[in-house]
Every structure is written in C-alpha cells, then in structure tokens.
Amino acid sequence: MQDIGLKIGIEIHQQLDTHKLFCNCPSELIDKEPEIEIKRRLYAVAGESGKIDAAAAYEQARKKTFIYQGYSNETCEIEFDDSPPRELNQEALDIALKVAILLNAEILPITQVMRKTVVDGSNTSGFQRTMLVARNGYIETSSKKKIRVDTVCLEEDSARRIGESENSVTFRLDRLGIPLIEIATAPDISSGEEAKEVALKIGEILRASKVRRGLGTIRQDVNVSIKNGERTEIKGVQEPTLIVKTVESEVKRQLGLVGKKQKVEKTVRQALETGETKFLRPMPGSARMYPETDLPLIKIANDMIESAKNNLPKLHSEMRDDLKKKGLSQEMTKLLLSERKLEEFKSLLPLSKDNPDLIVKILVLYPKEIASKEKIDKKLIAEKITIDVVEEVLEAIKENRVSESDTKAIMLKIINGAPVIEALKIEKIDTSGIEEEIKLIIKEKPGLSLGGYMGIVRQKFPQLPGKDAMDILKKLLPL
Ligand SMILES: [Zn+2]
C-alpha cells in the first residue's frame, strides 16, 4: 500500500458515575417536562490572547437565541450560571486519578481549573470548565506498539441539545456539569484498525471504573490527517467498530481533495452512523482557554494518589483470569461480568466452591430466564431474589434438601410471593421405586442408546426431573 502518511489520534469522553462536578445535583438525564426556562444570547468572549476565536465568530454570526430548560430540584443555580461553582467533586477526581494511573500517566501535583470557550450555546456560561489531571501516559497495542496518551482531563459535560428552530436552539440543563473524563492520545496511530484497538483498550479501563453506562455516556472523537492534507476532527463516532469505516471515508475525502489540488481545510466534522462524515464547523483556534477565577488551585496530594494506586479497579481481562482459576466456566464468567455481579459472586463462593457455575446460574441466569419466559419485571425479580435468598437456596442444595433441577421452580414460587422457607419445602421425589422400574425397562429393551432410554423414561415418569432421570440412567447403564 502506498504510504499516505496517515496519522490518527483519538479522544474519548466518558461520563463518571457520581454527582455533578461543581454542584451536588444528580448526574442523570431527566424525562419529565422542564419546570424552569430561560432565554439567553451568546457573545463570544475574547480568549487570553485577546483574539476572538474563529469558531466563536462563526457561531455568533448565526445569531441564535438559546433556550435553557431546567428543574427546581434536579438542577440548581450553578447550571444556570447564576452562582459560582462549588468545590470540585473529590470522588470524580479520585476516579480520574485511577484511570490516569491505569493509563501510565503522570499525575500533576497541582493543577488549575480552566475555562474553555464554548461557542455553540451548550454551556450557559459560554465556557466549559476543564482541568488537566495527568499527562504523558501510554497504552500498548497487541503488537507492542506504544501509543502515547497526551492528556487526561476532568471536565464538565455540556447541556443536552434537544431542539432547534430558525432563531433558537433549546438545551436541557440535566446533562450540564456531569463529570467527564477526557482522554486524548497523540497522533501515533497509523490505521483505522489500530485506532479501533486503542479505543477498545481505553474502553476496557473505563468500563472497569465507576462510570455511567448506556447510550450517550461515552463519546469518541477521531482526529485524522494525511500527508498534504489537514487535521480533521471527527466528532461522535458511536462505536469503536465504526472507527475503521470513518477513518477510511475521511482518508478518501482528503485524498480526493489533494488529488484535485484543492486545499484541505482544518475542520470539525460530525460522524454519521454510516461511517461517513459531514461538515460541522471550522476548526477552533488556540485562543480558547483561560483560568477559572472562581476556583482555587487544585492540589493533588500524594496520599490521594497513593490511595488511588492501592484501590485500582480490576480490568475485565484480569477478572476473567481470576474467575477461570476459581473454576467458573467461560459462559458463566461472561454473564457474571456483563451483569456486574462479581462482588455478590465472591461473597457466595464459599457456599459452592466445587460448583461455582451454580452460583451464577441462581444469581444471574435463572432470574434472566424467568424474566423472559414468565414475562415478569426484572425489578420485581431483583426485589424478591435477594442475595440472602440465593444464599438460602444454595445452602438447601448443598445440604441435599432440594435438588439443583428444582431451583428454577423454587425461585418462581418465591417471586410469586411464597415465603422462602415454604418454597424450599419441595418434596424430593422418591426415586427408589422409579429406579427399579427403569431397571426393568433396560432389561426389556436392551441395547438402546442413552438418548433412547431417556425418551422412554421421560415419557413414563414426567414428574421426574430430567437431570435425575439422566443420573439414574448413567448409574444403571454399563459404559
Ligand atoms: Zn446543580
């Protein structure tokens, strides 16, 4: 392949699972109708160097009114920019430190909250607060290539854009101020596939941390440039898997312009679900940051860094190795980690050390199966099948009071309101008589396969659980 000088850097924004960064409002998107609404116009603010930003000028030219919607309880005067920020959320800082350590980055002993000019109205103040937490980190790809992580920042999320008319844009303030960690790599990545791998690796670190999950809680931007081209910032690539396609189409676009001897402009483009991109705005200049005068310098004390180091979250890959050592099957491991029940599993493990899969079945698999088969609300199931209930069921199985094959039926009874003690009083079927009859069947019809006998037995003794039937047959049939 011809060397086109492809350079890619990625930037990941992830919402943290704490209250907001500079006030105590919840970090949640709110469904109900807004209770407060204000209108404002944006005027570009001169940056430190005195220049009005190119992008700011561009947006101001659009002369729009911004409508901000909030709530009386779920948002406060800080989101409306009627009050200065409160002290920095220390839990958010702690999460950012842990991520920075996992990215091998150097934490700054002292840092300053900065104001970054925001020109599209998505911040009531006209700027976004951001602070550099760590720099000079790296992650390693599977081919042992080091990709530098230039910066790890902690910042505020912007307001949620919910509508637009010819003269106005409407924003919801529920998202404004949610803590975001921003991770930016150097342009060390040289292919779309490599960019995808880097995004997935960073994603694994984030998923192990205390972050919000679900649609819109993580956003990925990709910077792409080629020889004779210009840096293009592509915003909002939805999935790491889409990065490959997005990079390809941007390279094609820039190559097309270079081929036609046209100038490639520095632009910000929007990623589309098809992997294509569309023009968003000119690239903002550098005159965008100035110090936040309402907040003191932030000192990151050594003992805070030490405490973060000693309490690092475990990555899924490490957890998988641990669980394998404990004898858990791959399938159950996947289920356990996806449902985030590791702590519960660990606390139950002493009850079923020789059969750890059983714990995950009762804890995760059976409730899931019951929810889908019986169409029962997952919340209701979670309320009824508490960790104590799981413990009692496991104990009953261990003491041979009930059999494993009865478990789902027992759980269903509990979900339907039966007291646990009653539900566990399932009479064990007396299999001694049945065993004699099965012996006769084998005698009468010698030479059938295990499956063949199983069919007959299940038909003749429908009350006998399948597993028990299988156990008896295995015992009686010569191998
Ligand atoms: Zn607030």
In a domain, 309, yes or no: no
Considering the domain architecture, whether residues 467 and 415 belong to the same structural domain is answered as no
In a domain, 209, yes or no: yes
In a domain, 111, yes or no: yes
Considering the domain architecture, whether residues 123 and 235 belong to the same structural domain is answered as yes
Considering the domain architecture, whether residues 333 and 456 belong to the same structural domain is answered as no
Q: What is the distance in A from the centroid of ligand 1 to the CA of 68? A: 14
In a domain, 281, yes or no: yes
- Contact between 89 and 27 under an 8 Å Cβ cutoff? The reply is no
Query: Which token pair is 43?
Result: 């005027």
Considering the domain architecture, whether residues 222 and 206 belong to the same structural domain is answered as yes
Domain's final residue, options 241, 271, 299: 299
Q: What is the distance in A from the centroid of ligand 1 to the CA of 271? A: 31
Q: What is the distance in A from the centroid of ligand 1 to the CA of 124? A: 12
Q: What is the distance in A from the centroid of ligand 1 to the CA of 163? A: 22
Q: What is residue 218's predicted lDDT score, i.e. its pLDDT?
A: 92
Considering the domain architecture, whether residues 19 and 111 belong to the same structural domain is answered as yes
Domain, as residue range, for 369: 314-423
Q: What is residue 230's predicted lDDT score, i.e. its pLDDT?
A: 87
Q: What is residue 158's predicted lDDT score, i.e. its pLDDT?
A: 96
What SS3 class is residue 128? strand
Q: What is the distance in A from the centroid of ligand 1 to the CA of 179? A: 12
In a domain, 67, yes or no: yes
pLDDT per residue of the chain (479 residues) written in tens, 0 to 9? 457 899 999 999 999 999 999 999 999 999 899 999 999 876 655 555 455 566 666 666 567 889 999 999 999 999 999 999 999 999 999 999 999 999 999 999 999 999 988 878 899 998 999 999 999 999 999 999 999 999 999 999 999 999 998 889 999 999 999 999 999 999 999 999 999 999 999 999 999 999 998 888 999 999 999 988 889 999 999 888 899 999 999 999 999 998 888 888 889 999 998 999 999 888 876 656 889 999 999 999 999 999 999 999 988 888 899 999 999 999 999 999 888 898 899 999 999 999 999 999 999 999 999 999 989 998 999 999 999 999 999 999 888 888 888 899 999 999 999 998 888 886 556 677 888 889 889 988 888 888 899 999 888 887 777 778 888 888 888 76
Considering the domain architecture, whether residues 295 and 333 belong to the same structural domain is answered as no
Using CA atoms, how far residue 41 sits from 54, 217, 271, in Å, is: 18, 28, 28
Going by C-alpha positions, the residue among 353, 354, 378, 352 that lies closest to residue 366 is 378
Q: Which residues pair with 11 in a beta bridge?
A: 184, 221
Q: Which residues pair with 153 in a beta bridge?
A: 132, 182
Q: What is the distance in A from the centroid of ligand 1 to the CA of 93? A: 18
Q: What is the distance in A from the centroid of ligand 1 to the CA of 123? A: 13
Going by C-alpha positions, the residue among 139, 146, 144 that lies closest to residue 99 is 139
In a domain, 304, yes or no: no
Q: What is the distance in A from the centroid of ligand 1 to the CA of 397? A: 50
Indicate the number of domains in the chain. 3
Q: What is residue 327's predicted lDDT score, i.e. its pLDDT?
A: 94
Q: Which residues pair with 225 in a beta bridge?
A: 7
Considering the domain architecture, whether residues 227 and 287 belong to the same structural domain is answered as yes
Q: What is the distance in A from the centroid of ligand 1 to the CA of 184? A: 27
Q: What is the distance in A from the centroid of ligand 1 to the CA of 212? A: 18
Q: What is the distance in A from the centroid of ligand 1 to the CA of 37? A: 15
Q: What is the distance in A from the centroid of ligand 1 to the CA of 126? A: 17
Q: What is residue 42's predicted lDDT score, i.e. its pLDDT?
A: 66
- Contact between 92 and 127 under an 8 Å Cβ cutoff? The reply is no
Considering the domain architecture, whether residues 156 and 226 belong to the same structural domain is answered as yes
CB atoms within 10 A of CB 430: 8
Considering the domain architecture, whether residues 127 and 259 belong to the same structural domain is answered as yes
Q: What is the distance in A from the centroid of ligand 1 to the CA of 361? A: 42
Q: What is the distance in A from the centroid of ligand 1 to the CA of 31? A: 17
In a domain, 142, yes or no: yes
d(CA 152, CA 132) in angstroms, rounded, equals: 6
Q: What is residue 434's predicted lDDT score, i.e. its pLDDT?
A: 85
Q: What is the distance in A from the centroid of ligand 1 to the CA of 216? A: 20
Q: What is the distance in A from the centroid of ligand 1 to the CA of 238? A: 28
In a domain, 1, yes or no: no
Domain's final residue, options 299, 328, 346: 299
Give a three-class secondary structure readout of 175-240.
CCCCEEEEEEECCCECCHHHHHHHHHHHHHHHHHCCECCCCCCEEEEEEEECCCCCCEEEEEECCH
Whole-prediction pTM value?
0.75
Residues with CB under 5 A from ligand 1 (ion): 23, 25, 76, 78-79
Considering the domain architecture, whether residues 372 and 460 belong to the same structural domain is answered as no
Q: What is the distance in A from the centroid of ligand 1 to the CA of 236? A: 26
Q: What is the distance in A from the centroid of ligand 1 to the CA of 215? A: 22
Considering the domain architecture, whether residues 247 and 280 belong to the same structural domain is answered as yes
Quick one: how many helices (H) and strands (E) in the chain? 17, 17
- Residue 125's identity, in one-letter code, is S
Q: What is the distance in A from the centroid of ligand 1 to the CA of 107? A: 28
Q: What is the distance in A from the centroid of ligand 1 to the CA of 206? A: 25
Q: What is the distance in A from the centroid of ligand 1 to the CA of 9? A: 33
Query: What is residue 121's DSSP assignment?
Result: S
Residue with the two structure tokens 């204000």:
38
Up-side HSE of residue 201: CA atoms within 13 Å toward CB? 22
Q: What is the distance in A from the centroid of ligand 1 to the CA of 147? A: 37
The count of residues in the chain is: 479
Considering the domain architecture, whether residues 408 and 266 belong to the same structural domain is answered as no
